[in-house]
A and B are shown apart, each in its own frame.
Chain A
Amino acid sequence: SKCRSCKAPAVIDLPRHNANFCAEHLLQLCRRQMSKAIDDYDMFGPDDRILVAVSGGKDSLAVWDMLIEAGYRADGLYVGLGIGDYSDESTEHVTAFAADRGLHLITVDLRDTFGYDIPTAARATKRAPCSACGMSKRHLFDQAAIDGGYDVVVTGHNLDDEAAVLLGNVLHWDIEYLARQLPVLPAQHGFPRKAKPLVRLTERETAAWCLLRGIDYLVEECPIAAGNRHLHHKDVLNAIERESPSTKSAFYLNFIDNMAPLLAEQSAAASGDLRRCVRCGAPTTGETCAFCRLVDTASAHDPVPVELVLGKRGR
């Protein structure tokens, strides 16, 4: 098959665009979709200092690469989660990526700095590992951005991620969660601005970006996340997509266009009373923030190897 733009031999078929593309025009499509997301949702400008949360997977390395290529000022932040071999390999991929390109990478290791890791936190708190992990990462991204004077935290969330989360939220119609599911959240209440420049790209497209740009990302997925509900929602959306291509992007993008404005009025009222955590200064509703309480509980617990939490998935 031939590229829709230049008739050269295609390297990928994109059913949602009902077209095939060569390497160069697939990259161009990715660039344009990111730039459209940044502009449409007013995510950041060329002078903003960007902190990219990187994991070593395809999406976070793709967004860092794309931002740098587009001329943005973007540093990386990597959090060592202590999830056995998976984290060791992640570290290698991220550090090699940054070193090869001469990019600035900030690293925070949970065990070294806070005395715990994700498997231990999951066991100590008796909660799903994905919940301790998400909470730790969000806190450290926010803190690093504030401490480092960055204007915005960027994550690699793609269209499939956002559509799957949206499906989960829609299945239960939690209005608060729905109202917060936006491609950019303004800085407020002591939290930094947050943006997701890849929301218009599917994960098949971000993976293709990495392949075509020679980015050596970690293909293996987090062993703890395997089989979680989020992944099941992705399968469900892909089954719908197969029956009717481009439904997935319509689902997410029409939500942002048609529904988010209606919900915005709702959530404005609900931001509540926030003060500063007495320990770390982060915004919190209590005396101590949830992260500092997690650190207390998890760091007091004997280290738990990852194998022991693999039975307890993040469902």
Chain B
Amino acid sequence: MLAIVRLFAIARERAGRAVIEVELADGANVGDLKAALACEVPSLALLLPTIRIAVNSDYADDNSPIPPGADLAAIPPVSGGCEPGIRR
């Protein structure tokens, strides 16, 4: 199946694009997707350990299945709001 993954923030900038399409085996899970992304876009490989994948707007772990047609996104650590470097 074809997985269409939106990229944001540093992931988008490192990849040089806002969307990546990768071909996955049917029944692939999020871990498989991350492995495919690392192959497809080597510039993302070093970021991937800190990136979470969202499946249909929910955070998913590596074992989560990827339903066909799911909305997929690569989510770098978030920092909405106003103050860097505190509390983390």
> Do they bind each other?
no
Binding site for B on A (CB under 8 A): none
